[in-house]
Amino acid sequence: MNRRQFIASAGAVMGARLLPAFAAPEAALLKGKAEHVISIWLGGGMSQIDTFDPKRLGDPQTKKAGSYYQSIGTAVSGVSVCEHLSKLAPLMDRVTAVRSVYHNVIDEHAAASNRMHTGRAISGTVTYPSLGSIITHERGAVTEGAPPYVVIGYPNATRGPGFLGAKAGYLYLTETGRGPAGLSLPEGLGAERAARRESLLSALQQNQPKAEDARLLDYDTAIGQSLRLSGPDFNRVFRLDEESANLRTDYGGEFGQRCLLARRLVESGVRFIEVSHNLNFLNGSGWDVHNVGILKQHELIRELDSALSTLLVDLEARHLLEKTLVMVSSEFGRPPEFDSGGGRGHQAKTFTCVLAGGGLRHCGAYGQTDELSKSIVSDPVSVPDLFATVHAALGIDYRRNLYDGDRPVPITDGGVPITQLFS
């Protein structure tokens, strides 16, 4: 053994002896029992100071920074919400408003939306999968007759499977009155002709050489799934008229009907549903409340209040809330200051996301911000931390790697779950 080999061997031995004394023990893996996720996406940037993290009252006329609305108490002592969340306030013991979420992406909608769907910054070499696609990859559909991942809203690359491939992709629809157009038989094509076509397709697939190209295999899988889902069993999910008139009224307008459909999709066996609040905005600008868009922001908040509170009660009545994690998120929040038009700008350094149900030990609110919800005072939660909490709730190992070819990609970019939410 030469001198260099001796030093290397001695160093390895010393390191092995010293490591147990200095290395911190790894925390136990948290593992919940949730089976489904309903992710409510408030595109545009929900103002945390005007909803789930109210502070002192401000004044847009004099440009005094602060909340736009009064606050009210909730079912959890010491936790307040905006006065326009009056239906949700009595249910906050089933909810945790995570008030200390943050990211460092430029306060621009597209980039921030990508971060809040993938947990990572946009990369020139890797197309990262969305949270929904990762959960689809890890858990699949609950039942064979349902797709694993459904988006109720417009398709977007940030919601897609990235390097995980088409199997982890989503089925989407833009209205609740009928099922996805791609799963409906064209006019004039009856069941008998459709059966003949399926028979011909099956014969062709059996006689073709065995495919090794992953893209071709994904394509065949997608065809098989679409044929299963075009049948009457799955399409019955979209018949919202089967629900009582009173329940549909409680859910509210188009956004509320999307939330009702999400509940029916959970019952059918869908694993992950994203509900986008991007239609029929009542204030003309949605959650992007620059300038005069803030004048009717309360109508938008009330619509969220009706739909979300009814969804939680409905899930609970059907014994589904404990196994369905409901998440409300947005690309960033809003600063306490008012802009020149009386509205608010963008703020990513601290904002609120909401978790409900899913078997978690809820506490009404987690994390603390300063007197104007402008900076985090305690318990910061990064986007990877938030995603790790979701993965843990579904029993997914948030420490493991995914693989883009031979390249390992941490499933949550090093996120750590909010341990207080796990009993």
Residue 132 domain-assigned (yes or no): yes
CATH of the domain at 237: 3.40.720.10
Taking alpha carbons only, the member of 13, 41, 117, 99 closest to residue 330 is 41
Residue 193 covered by a domain = no
Whether 210 maps to a domain, the answer reads: no
In this predicted model, what pLDDT tens digit does every residue of 151-179 receive, in sequence order?
999 888 899 999 999 889 999 988 777 66
In this prediction, residue 8 carries a pLDDT of 55
pTM beyond cutoff 0.75: yes
Residue 13 lies in a domain: no
Does the pLDDT at position 372 exceed 60? yes
Our count of domains for the chain comes to 1
Asked whether residue 13 carries a pLDDT value surpassing 60, the answer given is no
Residue 43 CA to residue 62 CA, distance in Å, equals 29
* Backbone dihedral angles phi then psi of residue 97, each to the nearest 5 degrees: -85, 110
Tell whether 122 is covered by a domain. yes
pLDDT class for 198, splitting at 50, 70, 90?
A: low
Does 88 map to a domain?
yes
- Domain range for residue 131? 27-184+230-421
Within a domain: 198: no
Structural domain includes residue 208? no
How many Å separate Cα 50 from the centre of its chain? 21
CB 281 within 8 A of CB 302: no
Cβ atoms 383, 103 nearer than 8 A: yes
Helices (H), 68-190: 109-118, 131-139
pLDDT of residue 5: 55
